[in-house]
């Protein structure tokens, strides 16, 4: 049986709300970055933009939002297609493995992102 143990917050409403909030943050971030890129950038202006604290906070917020958004979304997809109903116990094992792989990927991106944002 598919349960809510590995969902984001074990409440449907919480997951739903977090997915919406993170979507708004991601939209704002990508629209902003898109506009900056459209305005034309060179190394110096790009570096000075990303050396400002507010931009680093904004970027970290977007990165965290990506993690939250991806977790809720992937959880939804995996609990549809990799389940005990469809493929027996294998479904549960596969789903858990996939979810851990996604979690590890997101965690790596997060740490790596922090390193990039504050490391240069």
Partner 1 sequence: MLQVSLYRYNPETDQEPWMQDVEVDTGGKDLMVLDVLELVKGKDPSMAFRRSCREGVCGSDGLNMNGKNGLACITPLSETVKNNKLVVRPLPGLPVVRDLVVDMTMFYTQYEKVQPYLQNNNPAPAIERLQTPEEREKLDGLYECILCACCSTSCPSFWWNPDRFIGPAGLLQSYRFLADSRDTATEERLSKLDDPFSVFRCHGIQNCVNVCPKGLNPTRAIGHIRNMLLSRAV
Nearest-approach distance from CB 40 to partner 1, in angstroms: 39
Query: What are the residues whose beta carbons fall under 8 Å from the beta carbon of 34, sequence distance 6 or more?
Result: none
81 binds partner 1 (CB under 8 A): yes
Nearest-approach distance from CB 1 to partner 1, in angstroms: 7
Task: Find the binding residues for partner 1 in span 41-80 (CB under 8 A).
Answer: 76, 79-80
Q: Which of 26, 33, 83, 87 binds partner 1 (CB under 8 A)?
A: 83
Distance between CA atoms of residues 25 and 67, nearest Å? 12
| Residues 23 and 69: beta-carbon distance below 8 Å | yes
| Residues 80 and 73: beta-carbon distance below 8 Å | no
Name the site residues for partner 1 (rule: CB under 8 A): 1-2, 4, 7, 10-13, 15-17, 76, 79-81, 83, 85-86
């Amino acid at each position: 049986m598919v349960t809510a143990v590995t969902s984001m917050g074990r409440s449907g409403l919480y997951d739903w709300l977090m997915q919406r909030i993170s979507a708004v943050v991601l939209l704002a971030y990508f629209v902003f970055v898109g506009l900056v890129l459209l305005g034309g950038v060179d190394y110096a202006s790009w570096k000075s933009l990303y050396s400002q604290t507010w931009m680093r906070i904004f970027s970290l917020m977007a990165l965290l939002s990506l993690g939250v958004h991806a977790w809720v979304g992937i959880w939804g997809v995996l609990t549809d297609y990799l389940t005990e109903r469809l493929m027996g116990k294998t479904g549960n094992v596969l789903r858990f493995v996939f979810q851990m792989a996604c979690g590890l990927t997101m965690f790596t991106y997060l740490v790596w992102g922090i390193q990039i944002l504050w490391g240069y």
